[in-house]
């Protein structure tokens, strides 16, 4: 089987790799490139644990042939922030208790980022709708939405609607 | 099993590639194809990735209609203010497909050619009287999307033929459309029943109307008998209620993992009532998307 | 704000930082050089006898490092948290009791080869009539899933005299309730990776129960407990479903035989087919009350379908019996709970552990009794709720700290507050 040469930007770095036609992006990331932050939950695009950003948009890496990212930009959780420099979403997830088992967390963070990148002031309903493709089986959605909202609020220097809701 | 991968960049190259292959699967969004492949329901010898073909992309506005590339994603449809205003049912249906992740990748062409009876964009396209442009090496022709489906998972497309673009008439003055879906969840749910209505009003009368439903028959269907009855009727809750009751009697849904046939019948009535009410309100309101 | 340094303070979760960075290592994230990939051949039938297994073609496939069958299990070849009734690998001539029973294991250089090898294994199974309904399974002429019979355990609780209690009742409600099987669907499918250094087997596993896992590995490999080291990797949810053995014994056997690191990761389908479930129940409940709504007598029969293997079944059904009366004091009680084997997926521990099923029944009973007596659902609950001084169905005298009355009152106050708000402050 002929391999395909692809070039893409992964977490800000240009990568050139040779892939088999049937290699999936998730397997390229996890098994070839050692980026195990992206998870496999269902393998069929239902759970969102494999979510990465493709040209800034959240997608299921378990449903994408690696060959298709040729010329594209891919961001995984490893590209979001580091121990020294956490992304505000990562800080908010820790502070708001939005991390339980942690398996949905990488995908959830990337879906949140893709939302805030196009809509800096989402309502709670817009947040819920945008993370609808990311299952948290620990069912910690309220705190996840709180965390995303906290980042959105910090951006716009305004009183958080949740704080208003809770009468704080 | 492994497959050979082709990624033609032009329609000419695409048709040359298809001609050279004995058996192939076209890859657009792939959100259905890859799942079927993983579940070993299909075993393509060749996968032809059409995502590089510019002629199949983009939403263009022509006089009184839109030309939507088959590779346009559901997300692109939901991001179009013009489609929201003048093809509201399609805009709404596209926003109900899968999840944000799926909508970013899955294409309208794929949603059609999969020929799922429950495809969300299908009732909207039927109600809006959309046409599919069928292209092959030998030429181009147009067919109503309503005439495309020959059975569950089957279309009249022949090997070597593709849908390149979809032509959707734009709603104008006194016209409105709406899409309604019942799923088990708000996201990532295949419709238990879905449907769409398009309506033209003349004062307090229904001048013209089209009604379509999904998941109540082997293919998405138009409810022509109800449309006939509705033409000339007065815009009133009782009219829509009667249409709903007619729909419940007319459709012959099956029982399956998502619902019983009886419940689908109930939902069919509700879908028709709500779709008609919303479409009529939009036709009256001037603003098609209100 | 709390005056304490820790109590009452919001403390960051210890592993949250690693998890938001993507560095937390779940079992499927761990790899070692020279690692093999393991897969299991599962039974396609629910009830049968494995007559013959031919794996010669699989073993000969290039890239296959090992194929193991029942005869290769060095130790007990059984495991289970309460009863050791589940085979590690079904042996020739032995029973298959559910779809998904392990018939063979393969370790190969990659997953694709392991899958090809599975397809090359030929099995000959004598199919037996599967028993899929627990009530049918209890009948004397039902096909026997185990020689000792299909009823695994019976728990009885008797307090007072229910016959007399019902005689004194003004109203009686009798109903049958059925609850469904539920899959935990933790987002991380079962996974593990094992190493053998010639002396000790070490594994990182997605589990809730590493100490139990280690014991089962030792028993089935016939080695000392000090030769087994089970490390819980970051675990992507369990909810009770990862208390049972999944990949542990299989991985240990393959690591010992191949002397190479071996990783096994379930697909979602494999996870759903092979993991334990919440017990489906058939509950018959009869509850009596006097004309004021005070409970007089309670009879309840619970039949829990524990599937092919016991797992936590007897424990779950015991808990259901103990909680069947709900948070209410009833003078006369008779409860019988049966744990029954079928050829369905095995049921085990899941959040609530037998209590959600009976709560569905006893709360429905209370609502129906209230309606018959003509009082509100809240009134009948407050009237009968356990309080300090109450005697439970199991004869426990409650001396203090019984929260149900204050909880009901707080909930009722909140309901009144919300109703008031919805009416815009008007009463």
Question: What's the CA gap between B145 and B133, in Å, rounded?
Answer: 9
Question: What's the CA gap between B209 and B224, in Å, rounded?
Answer: 9
Question: What's the CA gap between C391 and C294, in Å, rounded?
Answer: 15
For residue C180, pLDDT over 90 is answered with yes
Structure-block tokens of residue C252:
């240990």
Q: What is the pLDDT of residue C2?
A: 65
Q: What is the pLDDT of residue A156?
A: 55
Question: What's the CA gap between B274 and B124, in Å, rounded?
Answer: 14
Rounded to the nearest 5°, which phi and psi values hold at C232? -75, 115
Question: What's the CA gap between A120 and C238, in Å, rounded?
Answer: 35
Give C411's contacts (C-beta < 8 A, 6+ positions apart): none
For residue C337, pLDDT over 90 is answered with yes
Gyration radius (Cα) of chain A, Å? 17
Please give the DSSP secondary-structure letter assigned to residue A73. Answer: E
Neighbours of B173 (CB within 10 A): 9
What is the CATH number that goes with domain C134-183+277-413?
A: 3.30.365.10
Give C83's contacts (C-beta < 8 A, 6+ positions apart): C152, C310, C314
Q: What is the pLDDT of residue A167?
A: 43
For residue A165, pLDDT over 80 is answered with no
Nearest CA in chain B to A133: B99
ipTM given for this complex:
0.93
Q: Say whether A21 and B3 touch across the interface (CB within 8 A).
A: yes
Domain A88-165 CATH superfamily: [2Fe-2S]-binding domain (1.10.150.120)
- Given B5, B30, B100, which is nearest A58 (Cβ)? B100
Q: Give the tens place of pLDDT for each residue, B5-23.
A: 999 999 999 999 999 999 9
Of B51, B49, B33, nearest to B41 (Cα)? B33
What is the CATH number that goes with domain B56-169?
A: 3.30.465.10
Q: Give the tens place of pLDDT for each residue, C190-237.
A: 999 999 999 999 999 999 999 999 999 999 999 999 999 999 999 999
Q: What is the pLDDT of residue B285?
A: 85
CATH class of B175-284: alpha beta
Q: What is the pLDDT of residue A159?
A: 47
First to last CA, chain C: 35
* Residue-range domain boundaries for chain C: 134-183+277-413
Give mean pLDDT, residues B245-269: 93
Question: What's the CA gap between A154 and A135, in Å, rounded?
Answer: 25
Task: Check: CB of residue B109 under 8 Å from CB of residue B207.
Answer: no
Structure-block tokens of residue B251:
């459709």
For residue A148, pLDDT over 90 is answered with yes
Q: Which residues of A touch B3 (CB under 8 A)?
A: 21-22
Task: Check: CB of residue A95 under 8 Å from CB of residue A147.
Answer: yes
Nearest CA in chain A to C270: A42
- Given C17, C25, C185, which is nearest A137 (Cβ)? C185
- Partnered with residue C192 across adjacent β-strands are C205, C264
Q: Which residues of A touch B4 (CB under 8 A)?
A: 1-2, 21
Name which of A36, A47, A60, A80 to mutate to probe chain C: the one with the most chain C Cβ atoms within 10 A of its Cβ. A36
Question: What's the CA gap between B214 and B110, in Å, rounded?
Answer: 16
* Residue-range domain boundaries for chain B: 4-49, 56-169, 175-284
Percentage of residues in chain B having pLDDT higher than 90:
93
Task: Check: CB of residue B94 under 8 Å from CB of residue B58.
Answer: no
Sheet holding A13-19, edge to edge: A13-19, A4-10, A73-75, A51-54, A57-60
How many helices (H) and strands (E) chain C has is answered by: 12, 17
Q: What is the pLDDT of residue C298?
A: 98
How many helices (H) and strands (E) chain B has is answered by: 11, 14
> Which of A82-86, A160-164, B5-9, C58-62 has the weakest average pLDDT?
A160-164
Q: Give the tens place of pLDDT for each residue, B102-144.
A: 999 999 999 999 999 999 999 999 999 999 999 999 999 999 9
Neighbours of B270 (CB within 10 A): 16
Q: pTM for the complete prediction?
A: 0.93
Give mean pLDDT, residues C269-297: 97
Does B56-169 match B175-284 in CATH topology? Answer: no
CB pairs below 8 Å between A and C: how many? 98
With vertex at residue C44, the alpha carbon angle to CA C39 and CA C47, rounded to the nearest 5 degrees, is 125
Q: How confident is the model at residue B275 (pLDDT cuts 50, 70, 90)?
A: very high
Q: How confident is the model at residue B289 (pLDDT cuts 50, 70, 90)?
A: low
Query: B4-6 and B46-49: which strand pairing?
Result: parallel
Q: How confident is the model at residue B84 (pLDDT cuts 50, 70, 90)?
A: very high
Question: What's the CA gap between A59 and B101, in Å, rounded?
Answer: 4
Of C103, C268, C105, nearest to C185 (Cα)? C268
Question: What's the CA gap between A124 and A153, in Å, rounded?
Answer: 11
Q: Give the tens place of pLDDT for each residue, A115-143.
A: 999 999 999 999 999 999 999 999 999 99
Give mean pLDDT, residues C13-24: 96
Nearest CA in chain A to C234: A101
* C-alpha of A31 from chain center: 19
Query: C182-183 and C277-278: which strand pairing?
Result: antiparallel
Task: Check: CB of residue B98 under 8 Å from CB of residue B30.
Answer: no
Neighbours of B284 (CB within 10 A): 16
- Helix, strand, coil in percent for chain B, rounding step 5: 35, 25, 35
* Residue-range domain boundaries for chain A: 4-79, 88-165
For residue C9, pLDDT over 90 is answered with no
Q: What is the pLDDT of residue C1?
A: 54
Give C379's contacts (C-beta < 8 A, 6+ positions apart): C293, C370
Give mean pLDDT, residues A26-32: 97
Structure-block tokens of residue A131:
């993370």
Q: Say whether A2 and B100 touch across the interface (CB within 8 A).
A: no
Q: How confident is the model at residue A155 (pLDDT cuts 50, 70, 90)?
A: low
Q: Which residues of C touch A43 (CB under 8 A)?
A: 267-268
Q: How confident is the model at residue B85 (pLDDT cuts 50, 70, 90)?
A: very high
* CATH 3.10.20.30 for the A4-79 domain, yes or no: yes
Q: How confident is the model at residue A30 (pLDDT cuts 50, 70, 90)?
A: very high
Q: Give the tens place of pLDDT for each residue, C347-370.
A: 999 999 999 999 999 999 999 999
Question: What's the CA gap between C158 and C71, in Å, rounded?
Answer: 47
Cα–Cα separations (whole angstroms), residue C343 to C48, C123, C270:
10, 20, 17
In DSSP notation, C44-99 reads SSSSEEEEEEE-HHHHHSTTEEEEE-GGG--S---B-SSS--B-SSPPTTSEE-ST
Q: How confident is the model at residue A34 (pLDDT cuts 50, 70, 90)?
A: very high
For residue C427, pLDDT over 70 is answered with no
């Amino acid at each position: 089987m002929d391999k395909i040469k692809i070039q893409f930007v992964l977490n800000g770095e240009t990568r050139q790799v040779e892939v088999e036609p049937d290699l999936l992006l998730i397997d390229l990331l996890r098994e070839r490139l050692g980026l195990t932050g992206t998870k496999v939950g269902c393998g069929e695009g239902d759970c969102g644990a494999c979510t990465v950003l493709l040209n800034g948009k959240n997608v299921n890496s378990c449903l994408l042939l690696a060959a298709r990212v040729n010329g594209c930009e891919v961001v995984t959780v490893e590209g979001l922030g580091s121990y020294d420099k956490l992304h505000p979403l990562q800080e908010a997830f820790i502070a708001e208790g939005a991390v339980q088992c942690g398996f949905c967390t990488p995908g959830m963070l990337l879906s949140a980022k893709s939302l805030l990148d196009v809509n800096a002031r989402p309502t709670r309903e817009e947040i819920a709708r945008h993370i609808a493709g990311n299952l948290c089986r620990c069912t910690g959605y309220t705190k996840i939405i709180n965390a995303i909202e906290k980042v959105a609020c910090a951006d716009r220097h305004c009183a958080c609607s949740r704080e208003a809701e809770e009468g704080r | 099993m492994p497959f050979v991968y082709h990624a033609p960049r032009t329609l000419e190259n695409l048709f040359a590639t298809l001609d050279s292959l004995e058996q192939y699967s076209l890859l657009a969004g792939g959100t259905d194809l890859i799942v079927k492949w993983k579940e070993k329901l299909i075993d393509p010898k060749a996968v032809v990735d059409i995502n590089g073909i510019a002629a199949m992309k983009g939403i263009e506005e022509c006089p009184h209609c839109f030309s939507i590339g088959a590779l346009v994603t559901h997300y692109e449809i939901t991001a179009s203010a013009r489609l929201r205003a003048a093809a509201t049912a399609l805009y709404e249906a596209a926003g109900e497909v899968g999840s944000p992740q799926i909508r970013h990748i899955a294409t309208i062409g794929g949603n059609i050619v999969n020929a799922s009876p429950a495809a969300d964009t299908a009732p909207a396209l039927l109600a809006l009287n959309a046409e599919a442009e069928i292209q092959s090496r030998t030429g181009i022709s147009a067919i109503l999307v309503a005439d495309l489906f020959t059975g569950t998972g089957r279309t009249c497309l022949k090997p070597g033929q593709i849908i390149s673009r979809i032509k959707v008439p734009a709603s104008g003055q006194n016209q409105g459309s709406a899409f309604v879906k019942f799923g088990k969840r708000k996201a990532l749910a295949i419709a238990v029943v879905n449907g769409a209505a398009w309506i033209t009003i003349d004062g307090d009368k229904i001048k013209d109307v089209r009604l379509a439903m999904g998941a109540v028959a082997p293919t998405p269907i138009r409810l022509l008998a109800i449309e006939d009855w509705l033409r000339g009727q007065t815009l009133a809750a009782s009219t829509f209620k009667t249409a709903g009751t007619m729909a419940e009697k007319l459709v012959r849904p099956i029982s399956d993992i998502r619902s019983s046939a009886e419940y689908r019948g109930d939902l069919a009535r509700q879908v028709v009532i709500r779709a008609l009410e919303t479409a009529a309100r939009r036709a009256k309101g001037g603003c098609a998307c209100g | 704000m709390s005056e304490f340094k820790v109590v009452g303070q919001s403390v960051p979760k210890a592993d949250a930082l690693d998890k938001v960075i993507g560095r937390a290592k779940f079992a499927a994230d761990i790899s070692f050089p020279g690692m093999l990939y393991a897969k299991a051949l599962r039974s396609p039938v629910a009830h049968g006898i494995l007559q013959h297994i031919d794996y010669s073609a699989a073993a000969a496939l290039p890239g296959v490092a090992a194929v193991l069958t029942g005869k290769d299990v060095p130790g007990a070849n059984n495991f289970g948290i309460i009863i050791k009734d589940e085979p590690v690998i079904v042996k020739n001539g032995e029973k298959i009791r559910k779809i998904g029973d392990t018939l063979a294991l393969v370790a190969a250089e990659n997953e694709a080869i392991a899958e090809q090898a599975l397809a090359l294994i030929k099995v000959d199974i004598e199919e037996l009539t599967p028993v899929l309904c627990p009530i049918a399974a209890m009948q004397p002429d039902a096909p026997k899933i185990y020689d000792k019979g299909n009823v695994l355990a019976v728990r009885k609780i008797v307090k007072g005299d229910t016959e007399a209690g019902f005689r004194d009742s003004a109203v009686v409600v009798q109903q049958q309730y059925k609850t469904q099987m539920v899959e935990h669907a933790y987002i991380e499918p079962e996974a593990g990776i094992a190493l053998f250094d010639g002396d000790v087997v070490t594994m990182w596993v997605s589990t809730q129960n590493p100490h139990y896992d280690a014991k089962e590995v030792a028993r089935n490999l016939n080695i000392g407990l000090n030769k087994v080291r089970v490390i819980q990797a970051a675990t992507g949810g369990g909810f009770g479903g990862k208390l049972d053995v999944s990949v542990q014994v299989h991985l240990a056997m393959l690591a010992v035989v191949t002397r190479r690191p071996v990783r096994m990761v379930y697909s979602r389908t494999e996870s759903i087919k092979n993991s334990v479930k919440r017990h489906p129940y058939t509950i018959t409940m009869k509850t009596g009350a006097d004309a004021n709504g005070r409970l007089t007598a309670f009879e309840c029969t619970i039949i829990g379908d524990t599937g092919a293997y016991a797992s936590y079944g007897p424990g779950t059904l015991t808990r259901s019996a103990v909680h069947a009366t709900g948070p209410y004091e009833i003078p006369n009680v008779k409860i019988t709970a049966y744990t029954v084997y079928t050829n369905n997926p095995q049921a085990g521990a899941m959040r609530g552990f037998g209590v959600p099923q009976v709560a569905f029944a006893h709360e429905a009973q209370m609502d129906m009794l209230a309606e018959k007596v003509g009082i509100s659902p809240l009134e009948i609950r407050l009237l009968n709720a356990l309080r300090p001084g109450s005697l439970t169905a199991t004869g426990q005298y409650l001396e203090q700290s019984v929260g149900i009355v204050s909880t009901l009152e707080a909930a009722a106050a909140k309901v009144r507050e919300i109703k008031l708000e919805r009416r815009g402050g008007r009463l």
